[in-house]
Chains A and B, each alone.
Chain A
Amino acid sequence: MYKQLDEQELARYCSQGDRMAEEELYSRYAAKVFTLCRRYTGNPDDAKDLMQESLIQALDKIATYTYCGKGSLYGWISRIAINRALNHIRRRRWRTVSLDLHEDTVPDPTEEEMAAIPQEKLLEWIAKLPAVRRAVFNLYCIDGYSHKEIGGMLGISEKGSAGMLAKARKQLKEEINRYLKDTES
């Protein structure tokens, strides 16, 4: 029965404390939230903890959720998870001047090349990015935030956010090109 519920109904059951509905919500979104948390933390253990905390917080506050179309429940949960992930990064990061070169001369991979790369590889490379670069890349490229919004979220300037993104892009492209060369040979 619960598998048939739409997002609005599922949220309503959950807000009534229905444990079965909660488990249904978990089974629908846990893996996606876990993937999101892996993207931000770069560490499966931290990602698991964050995922659990985010889903529990979502269920505790689900009465405040307002349905606004298909996919809005996941959007709402993912914002909770992103906020928690950013808090996690803010707590643990120390900013420094970067020594890495800014110049990006690495060629862009093509769409076909990207399609051949397994998702787990992409997550692995994103996990290798330093914490703030990883957060900026995720927020800008995948979750669709602007540099202004990212600056506000991370306490950095817009220019700083753009700089971080450039470095993250360069690092990822290097990883991708290395992988493509290895697979070719």
Chain B
Amino acid sequence: MKNWEDSIKDRLEGYESPLPEGSLAEFRALREGKAAAPARKAVPWIWGLAMAVAAGLAAVLLLRHPEKPVDGIQVIEHPTIPIAAIIDSTDETEPGLIAQAVMPKAIPPVSVRVRETISTREDKQEEVVDATTAEKENETPETTDDVKPEVGTEVTPVEPSIKTTSPYIPQDKASRSVRMKVAPAAGIVAGSGLLAAVVAPLLGTGVYGVQTPSGLYAMDSYADRREWMPYGIGADDQEPGFIVVSKHNFPMKLGLSTRIPVAERWYVSTGVEYSLYQSSFTDTYVSSSGEMTPWDQARKQAAQYLGIPVRLDWVFASGRLFDVYVGGGLKGDACVGATLGGKAIPKDGLSLSLLGAGGVQMNMTKRLGLYVEPELSWRIPSEKNMLQTYRSQHPLMFSVNAGLRINIGEK
């Protein structure tokens, strides 16, 4: 009795598949030398085009410099509450856009404390404090209904410098604008029809921050006042004041990835990745008893980035359905748009990150795969990055990416 493999052999040895149409004509042409040898379709033209577009985009993102620096920033509505002087960030390592504590002029004890702290700072900051002090000396205190009753102090409203400044954006930094258009970038991604979503918010709701006169502090929880109370406002034995509470949501990402074999088990992964970083900033009043009251509606910030990751992956295990790999590389992110309270603000500068990732890819077809990859990335510090986002709070960030990948070449 034959085994099943011998049966296959018998069935196929003498079997003749129908020849594709035009084979004989092609053969004749080849023998006559009229046609070139059949060309290998190693990389279909569409993949070549996609790679050219990606390379062009990379060149634009990485090499283009803004035509001229933008002086200052666009006007953002100042909070309408009668708040007083704006104090620059005290933390030189955290020069973010929420780098100003909003202090009510009506609360003198706070400003005394602030003055003491600030006296050791650089000249520019001293000038701000001096101006504040000068204003304070000239003003006539008067009661205002806007201040909480328990404060029990008189407040002199000060016209916020709406026309030229924002409490959220430092004035001494010229914005660098990378003129990447969202539409072409989105077209590249959407036009290919191969978008993938990362549902990272499942990992957590975000991170909070508090701006106090003595610096910017991260908080694990909005409600946990002990995190920032020691820094000068709101403690039982302290005076009341205003702080800016920020909340940075975990970023949302959309990506299109492609993987190209370069050697046995080694692949270059690249593509386009769109990231959306959302934050909200709330002016918050802190009473002498430490009670916090949001003073105004939260201002929502949305920063959109378009990034090109380039990674070298090593596939250490592979099956018909799954590939498992680790890899490392670089990613360039260009800010393609940023808004605060619905109004455009200057874009963040180009940022570069080092990446390390491991992942599993499920091969749906020969060319298409779904991947899930935990990624650890570290953003290289740069003065060009001014926006306060989840990323700025966590330069070393862990994320779980998932998406669709085009496989070029064969395993």
- Scan residues 37-62 of chain B and give those whose CB is less than 8 A from a CB of chain A: 37-38, 40-42
Mark each residue of chain B from 323 to 347: 1 if its CB lies under 8 Å from any CB of chain A, else 0. Answer: 1100000000000000000000000
A23 → chain B closest CB, angstroms: 7
- Scan residues 25-61 of chain A and give those whose CB is less than 8 A from a CB of chain B: 26-27, 30-32, 34-35, 38-39, 44-45, 48-49, 51-53, 55-56, 59
- Scan residues 217-264 of chain B and give those whose CB is less than 8 A from a CB of chain A: 261, 263-264
Give the contacting residue for A45; candidates B41, B263, B266; CB below 8 A. B41
Q: Are A176 and B28 in contact (CB under 8 A)?
A: no
CA distance A53 to B320 in the complex (A): 30
Mark each residue of chain A from 140 to 157: 1 if its CB lies under 8 Å from any CB of chain B, else 0. Answer: 011000000000000000
Q: Are A131 and B12 in contact (CB under 8 A)?
A: no
- Scan residues 49-101 of chain A and give those whose CB is less than 8 A from a CB of chain B: 49, 51-53, 55-56, 59, 92-100
Is B18 in the interface zone, CB < 8 Å from A? yes
Identify the closest chain A residue to B4 (Cβ): A109
CA distance A165 to B130 in the complex (A): 83
7 A-B pairs, CB-CB below 8 angstroms? A35-B15, A48-B19, A56-B31, A98-B318, A119-B15, A130-B320, A142-B9
Q: Are A32 and B16 in contact (CB under 8 A)?
A: yes
Query: Chain B residues near A26 (CB, 8 Å)?
Result: 24, 27
Q: Are A99 and B324 in contact (CB under 8 A)?
A: yes
Mark each residue of chain A from 98 to 136: 1 if its CB lies under 8 Å from any CB of chain B, else 0. Answer: 111000000011110111010110110000001100000
Q: Which of A19, A38, A48 has the most CB of B within 10 A?
A: A48
Q: Are B315 and A96 in contact (CB under 8 A)?
A: yes
Query: Chain A residues near B145 (CB, 8 Å)?
Result: none
Mark each residue of chain A from 149 to 185: 1 if its CB lies under 8 Å from any CB of chain B, else 0. Answer: 0000000000000000000010111001000000000
Give the contacting residue for A114; candidates B8, B23, B41; CB below 8 A. B8
CA distance A172 to B42 in the complex (A): 27
Q: Are B37 and A53 in contact (CB under 8 A)?
A: yes
Is B7 in the interface zone, CB < 8 Å from A? yes
CA distance A114 to B4 in the complex (A): 7
Query: Chain A residues near B27 (CB, 8 Å)?
Result: 26, 30, 52, 55-56
CA distance A22 to B7 in the complex (A): 33
Q: Is the interface of A mostly helix, strand, loop or mixed?
A: helix
Query: Chain A residues near B323 (CB, 8 Å)?
Result: 96
Q: Are A96 and B5 in contact (CB under 8 A)?
A: no
Q: Are B40 and A49 in contact (CB under 8 A)?
A: yes
Q: Are A96 and B318 in contact (CB under 8 A)?
A: yes
Mark each residue of chain B from 285 to 325: 1 if its CB lies under 8 Å from any CB of chain A, else 0. Answer: 00000000000000000000000000000011111101110
Is B26 in the interface zone, CB < 8 Å from A? yes
Q: Are A95 and B23 in contact (CB under 8 A)?
A: no
Q: Is the interface of B mostly helix, strand, loop or mixed?
A: mixed
Is B34 in the interface zone, CB < 8 Å from A? no
Query: Chain B residues near A19 (CB, 8 Å)?
Result: 31
User: With A38-B17, A55-B27, A119-B15 given, is the CB distance from A92 to B410 under 8 Å?
Assistant: yes
Q: Are A23 and B28 in contact (CB under 8 A)?
A: yes
Residues of B within 8 A of A (CB): 1-5, 7-9, 11-13, 15-20, 23-24, 26-28, 30-31, 37-38, 40-42, 261, 263-266, 315-320, 322-324, 409-411
Query: Chain B residues near A120 (CB, 8 Å)?
Result: 17
Q: Are B322 and A31 in contact (CB under 8 A)?
A: no
Query: Chain B residues near A48 (CB, 8 Å)?
Result: 19-20, 23, 38
Q: Are A99 and B318 in contact (CB under 8 A)?
A: yes
Q: Are A94 and B261 in contact (CB under 8 A)?
A: yes
Identify the closest chain B residue to A132 (Cβ): B411
B222 → chain A closest CB, angstroms: 45
A43 → chain B closest CB, angstroms: 9
CA distance A130 to B319 in the complex (A): 9
Identify the closest chain A residue to B263 (Cβ): A94
Q: Are A35 and B30 in contact (CB under 8 A)?
A: no
CA distance A108 to B3 in the complex (A): 8
Give the contacting residue for A119; candidates B11, B19, B26, B40; CB below 8 A. B11
Query: Chain B residues near A111 (CB, 8 Å)?
Result: 1-2, 4, 7
Give the contacting residue for A141; candidates B9, B322, B409, B411; CB below 8 A. B9
A173 → chain B closest CB, angstroms: 7
CA distance A130 to B27 in the complex (A): 29
A1 → chain B closest CB, angstroms: 19
Query: Chain A residues near B316 (CB, 8 Å)?
Result: 96-97
Give the contacting residue for A35; candidates B16, B318, B322; CB below 8 A. B16
CA distance A97 to B410 in the complex (A): 15
Q: Are B41 and A123 in contact (CB under 8 A)?
A: no
Given contact pairs A45-B41, A52-B26, A113-B4, a sample of 9 additional A-B residue pairs in the complex whose CB atoms are under 8 Å apart: A31-B16, A34-B16, A35-B12, A98-B318, A99-B317, A100-B319, A114-B11, A119-B15, A122-B8
